[in-house]
Amino acid sequence: MTDVQIGLRCQKSEQYPHGWKKVDAVPADEVCVVYLGGDGSVTDKEANGYTKIAEKDITQALGHGVPVYGATYDFGEADTDLARKLQFLKHRAATLLPEKRAQRIISDAAEENPDETYIDKLYKNIVEPRVVSAQKGIRFSAEEIAQNIRKITFISHCHGGYVAYGLEQRMKAQLKDLGYSLAERKNILSQMLVVAHAPACPLGVQQSSFYAFRSAYDGEGDTGWNLLPDYIRRRKREERMRFAGEQAADRAKIEQNRWFELPATYLEKKRLFLIKQKHPWVNEEDGPFMANPAEHGDLAYGGPQQTDDGKGLMMLARNVLVGGVVNSQANKEKFTPLPPIEELILYHDTGRDAEKFRGYNGKLREIFKKMKENGKKLIADVINCYKSGGR
């Protein structure tokens, strides 16, 4: 059976030498951040490493911290890769196929469904207390639940996106069982903010405010893009061939293959921020890699080896995180809905140099507008490529 433990960043001490302590649950009324790491987060060291990144960004931006929690998974014998594939299959089946055929495909895909006891436990100890009052006879109003949920900001990496989507699905089902209306459920779910780095889950299907950040040269976590994965694989192969043609001065190869031009992009339906690469090639002689391992694990803003697009991508993710925390703090006393993404991507810093950062917001609005335009162009190119059989 799978399991999970929740940890909290804390002051280093003799008892907690690494600034990390285990807790049973996240307090139901606390303004906080929860970091759901990738499937390598099976030790306290890994889980703590994720939370340090968030803690640093928040403290530098606001001049103070908020509680930051993380998860240490115990997958037992569970196959997380299979679990992610099944999650995507279920989405595709439920969306595109008749129910009877969908159920047959799902049952044939594996002998048994993946053990998600660990996600159930996370839901029970993080989300459910904000949906159902611990006081007997007390029922939260829909607005109170929305306010409670908005006090949490989730961050995820890779498999953590799968987990965050699982938490959303459980909340959606519980709200329905409790009798909240469709409009109430949609509003509550929209207050769940997830800042997802290279999420390994379907994209664009969430009712939560699930924003994904990834690079095309990150070879992991590409489920749920529909036509995009095949398009990107084709374009990367084509770029590799173009590079070989340039190196060999082979005119035919040069004329047959294009460089993969991908400006910073935002795909609205997927809520996906997409760039070509976070890191430059190791050296020009090695040429364009099909996948660069550094792309996947680099989660910090402003790394010295990042490309300009990489720094920009991580800055936007950092701003959405900080904006989510600032909005969470506004929900201490009264429900204050989550701002739209057009506002979240701006600087919300209140600490040192806050005014200087906010002076960039006009430029950020223009950049984001251009990213949305780039997204429309990318989708058009993907469709044209599909219709023409890859060209």
31 — phi, psi (to 5°)?
Answer: -80, 120
Res. 115 pLDDT band, cuts 50 70 90 = confident
Tokens, residue 306: 């990042």
68 three-class SS: strand
User: pLDDT digits over 43-65, tens only?
Assistant: 999 999 999 999 999 999 999 99
Q: Is the pLDDT of residue 102 over 90?
A: no
- Is 379 contained in some domain? yes
pLDDT in the model for residue 158: 93
- Identify whether 90 is part of a domain: no
What count of Cα atoms within 13 Å lies in the side-chain half-sphere of residue 260?
24
Q: Which has the minimum average pLDDT: 21-30, 184-193, 309-318, 382-391?
A: 382-391
Separation of alpha carbons 309 and 304, rounded Å? 12
* Contact in structure between 164 and 202 (CB atoms under 8 Å): no
Contact in structure between 32 and 51 (CB atoms under 8 Å): no
Domain range spanning residue 329? 1-78+115-391
- Separation of alpha carbons 125 and 142, rounded Å: 20
Q: Is 110 inside a domain boundary?
A: no
Give the separation between CA 146 and CA 140, rounded to whole angstroms: 10
Q: Count the domains in the chain.
A: 1
Helix (H) or strand (E) holding 51: helix 44-62
- Rounded Cα distance between 269 and 267, Å, is 6
343 backbone dihedrals φ, ψ, rounded to 5° = -95, -35
pLDDT tens per residue, range 251-293: 999 999 999 999 999 999 999 999 999 998 877 777 777 667 7
Average pLDDT of the chain, as a whole number: 89
Q: Residues 84-89: what's their mean pLDDT?
A: 65
Q: Are 366 and 66 in contact (CB under 8 A)?
A: no
Q: Mean of the pLDDT values across residues 84-99?
A: 58
Q: Does residue 175 lie in a domain region? A: yes
Q: Are 152 and 332 spatial neighbours (Cβ–Cβ below 8 Å)?
A: no
pLDDT of residue 93: 47
Here the tokens at position 32 are 């906080």
**What is the C-alpha separation between 194 and 352, in angstroms, rounded?**
26
Cα Rg of the chain (Å, integer)? 22
pLDDT per residue as tens digits for the range 302-354: 777 899 999 999 999 999 999 999 999 999 999 999 999 999 999 999 988 88
Q: Is residue 104 part of a domain?
A: no
CA 369/CA 51 separation, integer angstroms = 31
Please check whether residue 204 lies inside any domain of the structure: yes
For residue 20, CA distances in Å to 119, 123, 164, 365 come to: 21, 21, 22, 38
